[in-house]
Structures are given as C-alpha cells and as structure tokens.
Amino acid sequence: MSQHYQQRLTLPEPKVRLPDLFDGSRSTLRGFINQISMVITRKPRTYATDSEKVMLVGDLLTGNALLWFSPIFERRDPLLQDFVRFIDALRARFEDPNKAVTAARRLEALRQGRRPVAAYASEFQLLVTDSGWDGY
C-alpha cells in the first residue's frame, strides 16, 4: 500500500453538519437528498455500506416521512440494504408526481420582482431543469 493511501485511511473524516429533519414536504425533498449525498461523500468510512446510508436517512425523518419509514424499518424490508432503491422509493412517495408540469407552470409565471437577479436566475435554472425544457 502506498504511503499516501495509508495516510488517507488514517486522517479523520471532516465534521459535517447533518441536514435538517425531513418531514415529507415536497418542497424540501430535493435539498434533503442532495445534503444527504454530500454528507455521505464527505464521510465515506462512516457511511461505508448501503445499510448505514439508509439508517442515516431514517434518523433524519420526522412527521409523514417517518410514518412512511417506520413499517419499512420494522419489517426489515430489503430496501434497508439498498441505498439507491431506498432513495428511489423515497422520491416515489414524496416527490411531485407531476414535477415537469408543475415546473413548466411555475416557469411560465416566473417574475423577478424585487429579488436579486442571482435569486431569480437560480430559480429559473432549477425550473428549466425540472420542466425538461433545458434541451431546447
């Protein structure tokens, strides 16, 4: 094993802030999943297995999201062993089923108003991506 690789294994993982609890709100799902992905990326030894990744998410659920998760956990569903499938199931349950249509409608009604251009541009780009219009 190279010395550089051995040093990387012994370096402590960075301290990271965990995301806020997720309650099942459609408006916060994307950010929650992205923040979970960042935590896992920055702490690969802590969250080395799919099961540990799923348990991290489970620890951060509340409200309707926790009500959804509880039976999965209690019956030891195979989803607990497959992080990608678990996140897909989380999205299927809590993501807007008409995400593209909703984004297109919001895009058509989007106005800058009194907010900064950067905030307007960020929302515009997000809605373009979600609407599927980014290929045009």
The single residue listed with the structure tokens 């991290």 is 56
pTM, to two decimals? 0.78
* Structure confidence by residue, pLDDT tens digits, 43-96: 999 999 999 999 999 999 999 999 999 999 999 999 999 999 999 999 999 998
Mean pLDDT (whole number) for 122-136: 82
Q: Is the pLDDT of residue 7 over 60?
A: no
Cβ-in-10-Å burial (0-12, 13-18, 19+) of 1 comes to exposed
Cα–Cα dist 91/6, whole Å = 38
Bridge partner residues of 136 (DSSP): none
